[in-house]
Amino acid sequence: MNHFPPLTTSQYQHLAADLDVPVAGFPYPTQQDMKAGNAIRVLVSERDALQVRLIQQVTLVEQCMVEMNRNADMGEKAEKERDALQAMLDNAESDYRGKCAELELVHDSHDAALARLKELEEQEPVAYEYRTKPDWLPDWQLWHPCTKPQYDDFIKTPKLHGWHYETRALYAHPVSLTLGDEEVFADDAIMSLNAEMGLSMEQIMKFVRAIEAKLKGTS
């Protein structure tokens, strides 16, 4: 507790008037009144000190509330960013799984196409034909059927005594290990695969050419 020197009569009178304190000896205080006035002066001083501390505490609380609100806002923002990143991660994972499934489908289609083309390549001809063109004529004659031995002879001797011989083998299913661009674009199965996979035409052509090279043994 703070200690102050005793009040003078004049100071006491002013203090008593300001505080509106009724005292027995006012305006001429007794010794008891002087002591009471001194005690009041101490209490007023302590009250003022407490008010200052209270203001400081209120200010500190307000600052803490501002900081808490700021931290809460930052936390909410961080949660939103976390949720957005998680959504992006989930979408990326879903896309990855979808691409893996599409790639597996491509591999299956690739294997099936290889097997089918290999089967067509290895099939036996069902018939043979030949045609001729003499040196003195510009155009080839019509195709005619022939036997397998004749077919082999024409291949061994493609020209004899001014006559040119050309042969061809006929299959139940035409065998062609090379597709033209227009054939690729007109193929419903290839275009359906393109629509499902979302591949570019350049990627589709690379896929087709890779199968052709595999069948031809050039890859």
Q: For residue 215, what pLDDT is reported?
A: 60
Q: Hey, which bits of the chain come out as E strands? A: 127-134, 144-146, 159-160, 163-170
Q: Which of 149, 148, 154 is nearest to 131 (CA)?
A: 154
Give the mean pLDDT of the chain: 75
Strand order in the sheet with 127-134: 144-146, 127-134, 163-170, 159-160
pLDDT tens, residue by residue, 3-30: 445 555 565 556 555 555 554 444 555 6
Residue ranges per domain, the chain? 1-111, 112-216
| Tokens standing for residue 209 | 């050419």
